[in-house]
Amino acid sequence: MERTFIMIKPDGVQRNLVGEVIRRFETKGFKLVGLKLLSVSKELAAKHYDVHKERPFFAGLVQFITSSPVVAMVWEGDGVVASARNLIGATNPLTSPPGTIRGDFGVSIGRNLIHGSDAIETAQHEIALWFTPEELVSWEPTITPWVYE
């Protein structure tokens, strides 16, 4: 079953949007298999955003992600990687449509509230970066037959 890595960034935690974000993923029908609140080290932030290390915003991004706690999660379900990106919306909250998390709650690209893996391979890499295998829980919600045909 497909899994993706989702992180509520420091702005999302500070703005009390943790419950709202989890609610959207839960009510969509995805299954939570990992969850923790943590302060991110510079090392982890730099590894997570390694693909952007040459970009001008990289230092500010690492500074931001390490400035206050984040909520790291793993969600599971059919097509969850692409679907989570749709729930999250575009990188720039101003051009992200209403109904998306960034479109509904954000204004600035550097305060876009939430991260979601952009591909299945990226998701596997990010999950391994943020979670140990023991921190991920395999379980079967009793509602599964009411969500999946």
- The residues of the shown chain that bind ligand DAT, judged by CB under 6 A, are 52, 57, 61, 91, 109-110, 112, 115, 118
Alpha-carbon separation of residue 24 from 27, 52, 96, 106, 122 (angstroms): 5, 28, 16, 16, 22
Contact 7, 73 (CB under 8 A): yes
Taking CB within 5 to 8 Å according to partner kind, which of Mg ion, ligand DAT, none is near residue 87? none
Q: Which is nearer to ligand DAT, 79 or 141 (CB)?
A: 79
Residues in the chain: 149
Q: Which position among 48, 52, 115, 125 bears the catalytic label?
A: 115
Task: Lay out the site mask for Mg ion across 90-119 (x = CB under 5 A, - = otherwise).
Answer: ----------------------------x-
Contacts of residue 90, Cβ cutoff 8 Å, sequence gap at least 6: 96, 97, 100, 102, 103
52 is catalytic: no
Residues lying near Mg ion in the complex (CB under 5 A) are found at: 118
